[in-house]
Structures are given as structure tokens and as C-alpha cells.
Structure 1
Amino acid sequence: MKRALLVGINHYENFAPLYGCANDAAALHPLLARNEDGSPNMDCRLAVARDAAEAIPREGLQQMIVQLLSPGVDFALLYFAGHGAQTAGGGVTLVTSDGTPMTPGLQFSDIMATINASAVSEVTVILDCCFSGGATTVEALGSGLANLRTGLAVLTASRGDQVSMETADARGEFSVYLQGALDAGAADVLGHVNVAGLYAALSESFGAWDQRPTIKANIDRLHDIRTCNPRVPLHIMRKMIEWFPTPHHIYQLDPTYEPSNQKERHPNEQILPACRSSAPVCCSSRSASSTCTTPP
């Protein structure tokens, strides 16, 4: 079982308001709740603070994180969009609606303590806030440790010395790209979306002068954050080893592979389009002497 907590805070009592955080959390909710084929994925809790009536105080955020990391699931995901504040040691604090300049909110080191004590085996944290890269500094890890606990991955929108930007359309730049990555942009050929694929896609979305996403992880397997429809249908993938038993095998074609107007179509007509739909295969022009080969 998997659960996710999606937090987006626009409203602040003592800090400038934000405009895209609630939109970001709401946009990610359907992608994390369902896989592309409509099957259930994570049991998501959406917590947004657009105004004072929906304010998320420090204690409220901490309580939701404790509930997220309580026993009963194998995988938990925390997403936070809002203000981030640097701490004296280079860490980061997730600023809550009731935060003040002296006590801005929930320090990530406190969240790490909750994660370290949790029985949930796989935890992914995604932060879209200023200075979010400070989440994995030694100070944030606590007790002088230099490594994350096993099964934890932390993906951030920027380095510890950078701000995270909002767009003119009231969205976070990082979260816009994250949404596209979850919506198949980061999926591998079989449709698996994991934290490594997310980082690869997000890293390429920002230039050398932009905010730079970071990742730190201590994992021994890549857990699916979402699954999308595979680029190559699985029944085609299973056939590939029959059609191409060796890497340099030449698959001989003949006119029976050509589309025709005959009422009774030859079974070979299904093979050539299937070959073309798979990324590892390229087909030459369709003549009687044509061949279909795997790349060298």
C-alpha cells in the first residue's frame, strides 16, 4: 500500500503570499492518485492553504507528516510547495502559515527525525521551496550523520543557496516540470516512473543559469511512483526475442508484410507496424528485399 501527503501553502500571516503552491499540489493530486490506465496508485491527502480559512500551522503540518509516516504502508511520499527559509547551519525550514521570522515553521531536521523513526520502508520527499537543497545537509540529517536512512530519497527544486521560482501563470516552475514528468515524461519504455527518472527529466528542464534540482537518496531499488502506459506494448516486447534472437539478427521481409486491401489479411501485416512502434528497432524501405534489423 502507498500513501502521499501533498501540501501547498499560499497563505502566510507574516510572510509575502505565494500564488502557485496550492495550484501545484492540486495539479499533482490526480497524477499520484491514479496511474495512467486509471488504476489506483497512492491514497493521497491534499492539504492546501489558499487563504486564512485554510491556514496550515506548524503543528498541523507536523501532525499530518506523523500520520503519513505511521505504520500500515510500504511507501510514503511527502510533497511540499511553499516558502522555504534557511537555517543558521545551512538547512531548510518549511514555512507554515503561522510562521514568524524567528520561528518560521517546521525544520526539515525535525521531519528527518520522524522519517528515521518511521517503520515505513520506502519514503520519498519532494520539496518545491526556496533553499530546498539544504534539506539533506549534515545539519538536516542530524546527529552528525552524512547519509540518509535506507529507503529514503529527497528530490528538491533548487540547491541550498537558491530560490525556487513561480511562473506568471501561478505555478511553481519546478512543479510544472514535475507534473509533465509524472504524466509519462519521465517514464521508461515499460511505463515505470521512479525518482531517478524524475530527477533525470527535471535536471534537463533547467539551464545552467537556472535553479538546479538536486537529489539525494539511499535506496537499493527503484520504487514506482507512478506507472504509465508502456511505449511498446508488453505483448510486442515479449515477441521481440522471437523476432530478434541475437542483437544483430536480420529479419527478412517480403510482400506479405505490406498492408493490403484484401479481405483476408496476412498475419505478417501486424508484425511490421509492431517493429516500427518499438524504440530499439528500425525498418528500411518496404520492398520485397527489405530487411528489419536491430541497431548495431
Structure 2
Amino acid sequence: MRKALIIGINHYPYGGDLYGCVNDAYNVKNILERHSDGSVNFGCKLITASSTKESIDRGELKDAVEELFSTNAEIALFYFAGHGHIEATGGYLLGSDAKRGDDGLSLNEVLLYANKSTATNKIIILDSCHSGIAGTQPTVSDSAILAEGITILTASTSDQYASEEDGSGIFTSLFVDALSGSSANIMGDITPGSVYAHIDQSLGEWDQRPVFKTNVKNFVSLRKVAPSIPLENLRLICKLFPTPGFEFQLDPTFEPEQKGRDKGMPEPIEENTKTFSILQKYNRLNLLVPIDAPHMWNAAMENKTCKLTALGEHYRRLAEKNRI
């Protein structure tokens, strides 16, 4: 069971309305609720406030967060887009009713619920100003106190604002892009760590800086997209390259193309050309390189070899251990 509480608040009668948070919340819900093949991913609960009729007060916000983390889910994920506040007592997420910053839901309370949760993995994602303070005790400014299984990803550091652009939060736009597949590994898995890496690389040194804090033994997959290569082909990597540093011998029988063959060259062999097709896929994914040849075609036609890159060796070991 994977549950996500997704909250977006635009309506702030006492503190200045926002314009992209509700849209961001809908985008996060739409990307999280299903994997790319249409299968069910997260069961999402969406709460938004864009007018007086839909306002979300602190009590509703607190109750929803408490309910989320009182579950035995595999993953309990909390996403918030709205106003944030920071002061000496810590950080706050503001509901529509907030007249001053400390009227909001304390991030210390959010962390308390997450720390006590029986869910296997607790993930907190905040697109709000000063959200980088999440997980940090006010009295211990340089240390995060996270129970095992907690991951926090925030739009900005504790002293930065979270910006909107073209009707959406900059952070959330990158977050959704990462979940769409931009941060997927070869097997199609998208983890909190890969999402952070995507966002971190996309923002320059003068932009708001995302913050990532975690205490986990294993990263979980937030969403699955189509793998870059059929997994049955990837699993063959340890059979084609049975030992570290192994060089696979090629010859013209592996290349299906007739053009460019010298007179007397052996003809393609179907079984070899099928293998060569898989090797070419490895090459395109930076798992393999030809030795002493500029391209795989040259390697085959000139009787050269090919070998795995460091990344290829990583996947060879995974395949060898039945981890793929």
C-alpha cells in the first residue's frame, strides 16, 4: 500500500495569495497515482485551496498529516505547496487561516508524526519558502533528527524563498519532470535520490537550492517508467560478459549490414546478429565500448573486441546476483 497526501494552497487572505500551488498539487497527483504503463502506483488524497470556499485551516492541515502517517503503508508520502515561514522556534507550513507565521503547522510536528509512523518509508516533499529547515531542531541548527525510513526533499534552504514561474513552482516543475522519467535508471526506477540529483543538476548556483535529507537503508522506487532496454536483454549481460574485464570477440558474422563488406568476408549469422543487436543497445546506454575501434560496426568488421564500462560492470554484477 502506497499513500500520498498532496496539498496545494493558493488562498491566503491574510498573507498574500499564491498562484501556482494548486496547479502544482494537481500535477503531482497526476504523475504519482499511476506508473507509466497505467498500473496503479499511489493512492492519492488531494486537498487544495484556491478561494474562501476551499480554504484549509491549520487544524485541517494537521489532521490530514497525522492521518497519513498513522498508517502501515509501504510508503506514506506528504507533498505540500504553499506559504512557509521560519523563525527562532523553527519552520511552519501555513494554512489559509494564518495571520502570522507561527499560526501555521510546525514542521517539528510534521516530523514528530513521521518519526512515530509505522509506515516503512516516510517521504516529505515541501515546495515552500524556508522549507530546508525541515528535520532540523531549532536548538541544534546543524543536525537533522530523522528516524529510520524518513526522506525529506525541499524546494529551498532554510534561508531561501521558493519561486514560481509560469504558473508553477520551479521546484515542483522539476520534480514532476523527474517523475516523468528524466531521473529514471536503466531499469525504469525513479528513486528519491535520483529525483534530487535531477533537480540539483537543473538549478544553477544562483538559483534556489534544493535540500535532501534521509535516513534509509534502501531507496524505494517512487514510480516506474519503461526501462531503457528490455530487462530480459539486460539480464543477459552476465552471460555475455561472464567475468570482470571480459572482452567479447566480434567478427563480420555479427554485423547484419551487407554494405561495406570486403570480398571474401564471412556472411552474417542470424544468431550472432541477434547478439550484436543487444550489444549495440548496451553501447548506446554507455554500458559497453568497442576496443580500438570508433564504432561497433568497425569493431565487428575488423575483428575487434568490446568490453563493459564501469556502469556496465555495475549492471553485470546486479544480473549475476539476480538483482535485475
TM-score by length of structure 2 reads 0.83
Q: CA RMSD in A?
A: 2.4
TM-aligned CA deviation for residue 101 of structure 1? 1.3
TM-aligned CA deviation for residue 250 of structure 1? 2.3
CA distance in 2, matches of 1:232, 1:140: 49
List per-residue Cα deviations over 1:207-253 (Å, max 9, x = no partner): 11111001111111111111121112101111112222232312313
2:288 to 258, 271, 281: 281
Q: What residue number does 2:123 align with?
A: 124
Equivalent residue runs for 1:8-19 within 5 Å: 8-19=8-19
Check whether the contact 2:115–2:150 (CA below 8 A) recurs between aligned residues.
Answer: no
The alignment status of 1:198 with 2:163, answered yes or no, reads no
Q: 1:121 to 1:216 in 2, by over 3 A?
A: same
Equivalent position SS for 2:5: strand
The alignment status of 1:272 with 2:276, answered yes or no, reads yes
CA distance in 2, matches of 1:123, 1:295: 37
2:188 maps to amino acid: G
CA distance in 1, matches of 2:67, 2:7: 14
2:306 to 270, 285, 293: 293
- Structure 1 segments of 4+ aligned residues over 3 angstroms from their partners: none
Q: What residue number does 2:186 align with?
A: 189
List per-residue Cα deviations over 1:240-275 (Å, max 9, x = no partner): 1222223231231323531479xxx92433332322
Equivalent position SS for 1:47: strand
Equivalent residue runs for 1:34-113 within 5 Å: 34-89=34-89, 91-101=90-100, 103-113=102-112
TM-aligned CA deviation for residue 11 of structure 1? 0.7
CA distance in 2, matches of 1:160, 1:102: 14
The alignment status of 1:137 with 2:145, answered yes or no, reads no
TM-score by length of structure 1 reads 0.91
TM-aligned CA deviation for residue 21 of structure 1? 0.6
Aligned length: 291
CA distance in 2, matches of 1:254, 1:102: 71
Equivalent position SS for 2:134: helix
TM-aligned CA deviation for residue 285 of structure 1? 4.5
Check whether the contact 2:94–2:101 (CA below 8 A) recurs between aligned residues.
Answer: no
Q: What residue number does 2:212 align with?
A: 215
The alignment status of 1:3 with 2:7, answered yes or no, reads no
List per-residue Cα deviations over 1:138-171 (Å, max 9, x = no partner): 23999x985211110111110000001000x100
5+ residue gaps, structure 2, are: 260-268, 310-324
CA distance in 2, matches of 1:211, 1:54: 30
Q: What residue number does 2:318 align with?
A: none
Equivalent position SS for 2:236: helix
Q: What residue number does 1:115 align with?
A: 114
TM-aligned CA deviation for residue 290 of structure 1? 4.4
Q: 1:226 to 1:292 in 2, by over 3 A?
A: farther
TM-aligned CA deviation for residue 87 of structure 1? 2.4
CA distance in 1, matches of 2:254, 2:186: 29
TM-aligned CA deviation for residue 126 of structure 1? 0.4
5+ residue gaps, structure 1, are: none
Q: 1:211 to 1:146 in 2, by over 3 A?
A: closer
TM-aligned CA deviation for residue 23 of structure 1? 0.8
